[in-house]
Amino acid sequence: MTGRTALSVAATVCLISAPLSGCSTSALGHSDPGLGPAGKPIVIAAVKGLTGSLSSFDGPPVITAQMAVDDINSRGGVDGHPLQLIKVDTQSDVSHDQQATLHAIKKGASFIIAPCDFDTGAPVAIVAQAAQLVAMSDCAGAPEFGKQGIGPYAFTMGLVAQSEGAALAQFAAGRNWHRAFILRDTTLEYHRQVTDGFIDRFAGDGNQIVSQATFEGQDNSISTQIGRIRDSGPIDFILLMSFPPGGASALRQLRAAGINVPVLASNSFDGDYWKSAVANVSDVYYTNYSSLSGDDPDSARTAVIERFKQITGGYPSNTNVVTGYSVIQAFKIAAERCTCRSGPGLVTAFESFKNEPLLVGPTTFTDTLHVDPVRPLLVMQIDGGRSRFVTEIAFSSPPHLPL
């Protein structure tokens, strides 16, 4: 996917390929928590993997962040100050994170948008924290992306991995699916955390984990694991914790082996880009931020996704784009609440969030939890290669978080 953003006078987007300096921006100091002279731009920096292996995850939310900047500026900005979004490219290389973040700070950034993963985003947040700047990841799913794992200046707008697992467990129970086989890819820690959230919520009430098996996403064959599934006895569904292309290959092999029970997955299976690998893929369910099919229960999310298409010429590869817009919305709320743009006051303002009406959904942060583990999630169903919205999961209770 290739994307382009419309530039405006009020909110110029600059791409800086770290460690090289690039565009000209208004330099703002980051030490003064006040908003400064009337009308002076507030600089927000997206320090992300805009090229390289992470670009499909890190890039699209920046486009919707720019949409939010334009929308806010058209309505008077933040306390009369326009927002200005700059981009600093880490080139998807963690070794560039520190220098890229320092470069953003030098360019006057008051607020940092961090990469969409704990491992790649934490180094950015640590550097920002040393400058008393809040760094918010748009879609990191680890609950550790916050006070416990990084420090008080780190927040994330992402789906909590354990929450995804708990939502899948509630969904399965609601369908009277009580016997699960867990097939987990060991490549990413994220999928272990989703699995933990599922097991914690699924246990009891007549539910049973019949058996489990693991594989590596790069494995060409899961024939041994398929044998385990066949030997496990009757099952109602498979919890498949993986991501394409390896996860798509595993799903194809399951269906080719005649294992046609429902498959539950995380939002790693969002989007259409992988579906050609599994002919006429059906009876697959996954958690998600939004829907790319035009049937999201929140028409505002659908509208932003349609605007994304107008700007870039195509739909996003996944729906984490709604988090990019939401990060900017959140900054406006917090900055106006504290009449500041950085420092401890902005942290306190974020920690006061209580069901704030963001595009991604009602969002709450606290002084101990800088991620929202109970924000409702969507469940999508794939049938005949097409995804559609099924239901929205509201949590019966918060998932257990190992913090």
pLDDT score, position 38: 52
pLDDT score, position 351: 99
pLDDT score, position 189: 87
Cα–Cα distance list, 71 to 77, 83, 136, 141, 371 (Å): 8, 10, 20, 27, 25
Q: Which of 198, 189, 347, 352 is nearest to 264 (CA)?
A: 198
Tell which phi-psi region holds residue 184, choosing left (phi > 0), alpha (psi between -120 and 50) or beta: beta
How much is the pTM?
A: 0.87
Q: Which of 121, 159, 386 is nearest to 266 (CA)?
A: 159
- 374 with 398: CB under 8 angstroms? yes
pLDDT score, position 229: 98
The full 3-state SS of 41-82, as one line of letters, equals CEEEEEEECCCCCCHHHHCHHHHHHHHHHHHHHHCCCECCEC
For 21-60, b where at least 16 C-beta lie within 10 A, e where not — what string?
ebeebeebebeebebeeeeebbbbbbbbbbbeebbbbbbb
Task: Tell the burial category of 221 from Cβ atoms under 10 Å away from its Cβ (0-12, 13-18, 19+).
Answer: exposed
- 332 with 110: CB under 8 angstroms? no
Q: What CATH class is the domain 161-288+378-393?
A: alpha beta
Four-residue CA torsion sign, 335, 340, 341, 347 = negative
pLDDT score, position 7: 30
What fold, for 15-159+298-372?
A: Rossmann fold (3.40.50)
Q: Which two tokens stand for residue 241?
A: 């914790």
Provide the Cα torsion 182, 171, 163, 113; round to 10°: 110
Provide block-wise average pLDDT over 10 residues at a time, the chain (403 residues): 31 44 34 48 98 91 98 95 97 96 98 95 98 97 94 97 96 97 94 96 90 94 97 98 95 97 96 92 97 96 97 93 98 98 98 98 97 97 97 92 87
Listed as own residue / partner, the contacts of 341-345 with beta carbons closer than 8 Å and 24 or more positions apart are: 341/33, 341/34, 341/35, 341/42, 341/78, 341/110, 341/111, 342/30, 342/31, 342/33, 342/110, 342/111, 342/132, 342/133, 342/134, 343/33, 343/132, 344/33, 344/132, 345/33
Domain span(s) for CATH 3.40.50.2300 in the chain:
15-159+298-372, 161-288+378-393
CA distance 174 to 91: 43
Give SS3 for 156.
strand
Tell which phi-psi region holds residue 271, choosing left (phi > 0), alpha (psi between -120 and 50) or beta: left
Residues 6+ apart with CB under 8 A from 101: 47, 88, 112, 123, 124, 127, 128
- 210 with 179: CB under 8 angstroms? yes
CA distance 254 to 349: 48
Residue with token string 């239901």: 391
- 128 with 101: CB under 8 angstroms? yes
Q: Which residues partner with 112 through β-bridges?
A: 45, 135
